[in-house]
A and B are shown apart, each in its own frame.
Chain A
Amino acid sequence: MSTLLEMSGVSVSFDGFKAINNLSFQIGEPELRAIIGPNGAGKTTFMDIITGKTKPDEGRVLWGDKGTSLLGRSESQIARAGIGRKFQKPTVFEAQTVRENIAMALKNSRGPFDVLFYRKTAEGAARIEAVAKEVGLTEELPRPAGELSHGKKQWLEIGMLLAQDPRLLLVDEPAAGMTPAEREHTTDLLKRMAETRAVVVVEHDMEFVRRLNCKVTVLHEGSVLAEGSLDHVTANQDVIDVYLGR
C-alpha cells in the first residue's frame, strides 16, 4: 500500500474562525477510511480542501505517486486527476435519465470539443451497463433520475463516481436517510470499491462505521484527535470527552 494523498500542517480559517487547524492526514491505495467527528469538526471543509473548493491558508496537500501538489488547481483539474466526491445531499441531474447521468460521469476526454463531437460507443454502453449493475440500477437506466427514491439517488451518485473511475473517493454521509436494507447494500458497495482504490467515508453513525470495519480518524475542532480502529478510538478518553462530555 503506497501513500496516495498526504496533507500536512493544513490550516484554514473563515473570518477568524479556524475551521481546520494544523491538520495532517494521509491515506494509501487501496484503503478504506472512516472519518467521524461532532458537528463543526471540519469534516466538510476537509473535503472542500482536497477537492479544491476551498484554498487553505497554509499547509501542503500532496497527491499521487510523484507527490505533486493539489493546491492551486481548479476543481475540475483535481477531479480529472482522479478524486471523486459524493455530496451529503444526493446531487444527481434530476431532469436527465439515469443513463445520461452515468454517461456524463464516464471517464472520457472532458474538453468542450471532445464532448461536442463525442460518439456513443459500444464500450461506453457496456461500461454504463456494468456500473448500473454494480449499484443495482439496471432497470432504472431509462428513467429520469428525479423519479428515483432517495436511496436510489444515493446509489446513482455512487455509480457516477464509479464511472469516473477515481483513485480516491470522498463520500459524505452515504447512509443518511436510508432504510436498514439500503444501508447494508451501501456498506457492501463501499467495501468493494475500497478493494482497488482509496475511499474516505465521512459518517456520523457509529453503527455504520462499525460495519465498515476499517481504520477510523476522529476530527475535532479542525484537527485529528485520534486515529486507529473503532474500538481503539472509542476507548480514547479525549474522544469520550468530545462525544459525551458536552
Chain B
Amino acid sequence: MKPGFLSQNPSVLWFLAALGLFTLGVTVLAEATGTGALSTSFVKTLGKTLCLCLIAIAMDVVWGYCGILSLGHFAFFGIGGYAIGMWLMYARTEAIVSESMAAAVIPPTDQEVIDAIGTQIFGVVGSSEFPVIWAFSDSLFLQLLMVVLIPGLLALVFGWLAFRSRVTGVYLSILTQAMTLALSLYLFQNDSGLRGNNGLSGLQNIPGFEDTPQSMISIAFFWASALALGLGYLLFAFVTSGKMGSVIRGIRDDEARVRFLGYHVESYKLFVFTLTAVIAGIAGALYYPQAGIINPAEIAPIASIYLAVWVAIGGRGRLYGAVIGAAFVSLLSSWFTGGGAPNVNLGVYTIQWTDWWLVLLGLSFVAVTLFAPKGIGGLFDAIAVRRTPERVGDYGPDKGALRQEEGTE
C-alpha cells in the first residue's frame, strides 16, 4: 500500500475504529468473556451480521463501484459455507463414529470407519457412498482452500464467458441469477452429493473443541468475523482508491470510453468479479458455522436480491454504506420476523410483522431508490466537513487579507 493511503481515505480509519469499539463492546458484554448481558445466540447473530457486512462490501464493489449488478454473489457465499461445512460434518461424524466403534471387540478397519461415516452422513438421502466431491473432506486445509478456489474459479469461468461476449446491464443480471438458480436447483437434488434439501447441519460443533462451550465458540467466531470484515474493508478500500478505483468507476459510468482509452475492460471486470466472489466465499465460510446449518434455500436467487437491497438502502458506491445497509436491514429483519416487533391492531385487521415485514422492506427499497438514491450512507455527506477548496489566489480583496503564501502554512 502506498504511503498516505490511510490519510487519503479517512473513512477507513473511522470505520476500523468503530468496528474495534463494537468488537470490544460485544466482548465485554458476552457470556464467555464478560458480563453475560448478551446471550450466546445474540452474539452469534452479531457475528453472522458481520459476515453479511463483509459480503455486502463485496457486492458494493462489484455493483456500486464497477456497475455489475450481480445477482449471484450469495451463491459464492453459499459455496464457501458448503466447503467448510463438508469438513465440519466429516470431522465431527468421524469423531463420533470412531468413539462408538472403539468399544467393539475387534478394532474396526479404516474402510469400516469411512463406511460408517458415509452411512451417518448420507443415510438421510438413502445412500452411504461418499460422492467424488467429498474426496478432500477429511482435510481442513484442502477444504479451506476450496472456500477460496471454488467461488474464485466459478466466478472466473462464468465472468470470462459473460464479459467476453459483452453481456452487460440487465442481461448480465439475469445471467448471474440463472447461474444462482441452476446451482440451487442442483443442490436440492438428493444425488447432488450434498444431502439435497437437508443441507449440512450441526456445523456449530467444531471438531476438536467438543469441550469448549458454545458461548466461547460464538465469541471466537465473532472475533474472526470482525477481523475478516476489517481486513476485507482495507482490501476493498485499497482496490477502490487510487487509479484502480478511477478505472473501475469509469467502467461503471462509460465502459466504451474506458475501452478507447486503451484499458481492456473485460479483464478489469473479471478481476473485480472474481475477487469479490472469493471474499464472498470467505464470508460464507465464517457465517455458516455460526448459523449451524446450510441448505440450498440459502443459495436461492432471493438471497442475492436481498444483498442488492441492503447495498442500495445503505448507499451504493461507498463501502461503509454497504456495511450500514447490511447490518441495519438484516438486524431489523430478524427483529421483525423473530416476533420482536409488536403487532399493530387496526381493529378490523391485525398487522403481523412476520408477514408484513417483506412488504415494509419492499416499500422502503422503493422509497430509498426514489427519494434518497445515496441511501443511508448519504446522510454522512450532510454532516461531513466540506473539503476546503484549493486556494489559487489571495484570501480576500482587502490589503489586510491573508496573502496566498501565508495560507499554505
Q: Which residues of A contact B (CB under 8 A)?
A: 51, 53, 74-77, 79-80, 84-85, 87, 91, 93-96, 100, 103-105, 110-112, 115-116, 118-120, 139, 142, 160, 164
Max chain A C-beta neighbours (<10 A), residue from B242, B243, B244, B256: B243
B362-403 interface (Cβ within 8 A of A): 389-390, 392
Closest A residue, CB atoms, query B3: A119
Kindly state the separation between the CA atoms of A102 and B46 in the bound complex, as whole angstroms: 44
Kindly state the separation between the CA atoms of A53 and B255 in the bound complex, as whole angstroms: 13
Partner of B250, one of A85, A93, A142: A93
* Given the contacts A104-B261, A105-B261, A96 and B250 also touching, CB distance less than 8 Å: yes
B256-278 interface (Cβ within 8 A of A): 256-265, 267-268, 271
Kindly state the separation between the CA atoms of A25 and B247 in the bound complex, as whole angstroms: 34
Question: A160 to chain B: which residues have CB within 8 Å?
Answer: 261
* B260 in contact with A85 (CB, 8 Å): yes
Partner of B254, one of A80, A93, A105, A164: A93
Q: Does B33 contact A (CB under 8 A)?
A: no
* B259 in contact with A120 (CB, 8 Å): no
Q: Give the distance to chain B from A148, nearest Cβ to Cβ, in Å.
A: 15
* Given the contacts A93-B249, A139-B392, A103 and B243 also touching, CB distance less than 8 Å: yes
Kindly state the separation between the CA atoms of A164 and B261 in the bound complex, as whole angstroms: 7
Question: B115 to chain A: which residues have CB within 8 Å?
Answer: none
8 closest cross-chain pairs (CB), A and B: A79-B262, A80-B262, A75-B259, A76-B264, A118-B243, A112-B271, A116-B244, A91-B257
What total of chain B residues lie within 8 Å of the partner, measured CB to CB? Answer: 27
Kindly state the separation between the CA atoms of A160 and B260 in the bound complex, as whole angstroms: 11
Partner of A91, one of B2, B254, B264, B392: B254
Kindly state the separation between the CA atoms of A87 and B263 in the bound complex, as whole angstroms: 17
Question: A84 to chain B: which residues have CB within 8 Å?
Answer: 260
* B260 in contact with A103 (CB, 8 Å): no
* A118 in contact with B268 (CB, 8 Å): no
Closest A residue, CB atoms, query B271: A112
Kindly state the separation between the CA atoms of A91 and B260 in the bound complex, as whole angstroms: 11
* A110 in contact with B243 (CB, 8 Å): no
Other than the given A74-B264, A105-B261, 19 more pairs (CB < 8 A) read: A75-B256, A75-B259, A77-B264, A79-B261, A91-B256, A93-B246, A93-B253, A96-B246, A96-B249, A103-B243, A104-B246, A111-B264, A112-B271, A115-B243, A115-B247, A116-B239, A118-B243, A119-B2, A160-B261
Closest A residue, CB atoms, query B1: A117
Question: A142 to chain B: which residues have CB within 8 Å?
Answer: 389-390
11 contacts between A and B (CB under 8 A): A80-B262, A93-B250, A93-B253, A95-B253, A96-B246, A104-B247, A104-B261, A112-B267, A142-B389, A164-B261, A164-B262
Kindly state the separation between the CA atoms of A120 and B3 in the bound complex, as whole angstroms: 10
Q: Give the distance to chain B from A181, nearest Cβ to Cβ, in Å.
A: 22
Kindly state the separation between the CA atoms of A96 and B251 in the bound complex, as whole angstroms: 12
Question: B271 to chain A: which residues have CB within 8 Å?
Answer: 112, 116
Q: Which residues of B contact A (CB under 8 A)?
A: 2, 239, 242-244, 246-247, 249-250, 253-254, 256-265, 267-268, 271, 389-390, 392
Question: B250 to chain A: which residues have CB within 8 Å?
Answer: 93, 96, 104
Question: A112 to chain B: which residues have CB within 8 Å?
Answer: 244, 264, 267-268, 271
* A110 in contact with B264 (CB, 8 Å): yes
A-B contact count (CB 8 A): 77
* B262 in contact with A120 (CB, 8 Å): no
Max chain A C-beta neighbours (<10 A), residue from B242, B247, B254, B261: B261
Question: B247 to chain A: which residues have CB within 8 Å?
Answer: 104, 115
Q: Give the distance to chain A from B391, nearest Cβ to Cβ, in Å.
A: 11
* B249 in contact with A76 (CB, 8 Å): no
* A95 in contact with B239 (CB, 8 Å): no
Kindly state the separation between the CA atoms of A217 and B258 in the bound complex, as whole angstroms: 29
Question: B254 to chain A: which residues have CB within 8 Å?
Answer: 91, 93
* B262 in contact with A110 (CB, 8 Å): yes
Partner of A100, one of B246, B257, B262: B246
* A79 in contact with B260 (CB, 8 Å): yes
Q: Give the distance to chain B from A121, nearest Cβ to Cβ, in Å.
A: 11
Q: Give the distance to chain B from A99, nearest Cβ to Cβ, in Å.
A: 10
Question: B265 to chain A: which residues have CB within 8 Å?
Answer: 76
Kindly state the separation between the CA atoms of A103 and B390 in the bound complex, as whole angstroms: 19
* Given the contacts A93-B253, A94-B253, A95-B253, A120 and B2 also touching, CB distance less than 8 Å: yes
Closest B residue, CB atoms, query A116: B244
Question: A139 to chain B: which residues have CB within 8 Å?
Answer: 392
Question: A80 to chain B: which residues have CB within 8 Å?
Answer: 262
Kindly state the separation between the CA atoms of A118 and B260 in the bound complex, as whole angstroms: 20
Kindly state the separation between the CA atoms of A139 and B242 in the bound complex, as whole angstroms: 21
Kindly state the separation between the CA atoms of A115 and B241 in the bound complex, as whole angstroms: 11
Kindly state the separation between the CA atoms of A119 and B239 in the bound complex, as whole angstroms: 13
Question: A95 to chain B: which residues have CB within 8 Å?
Answer: 249, 253
Question: B263 to chain A: which residues have CB within 8 Å?
Answer: 76, 110, 115
Kindly state the separation between the CA atoms of A142 and B260 in the bound complex, as whole angstroms: 24
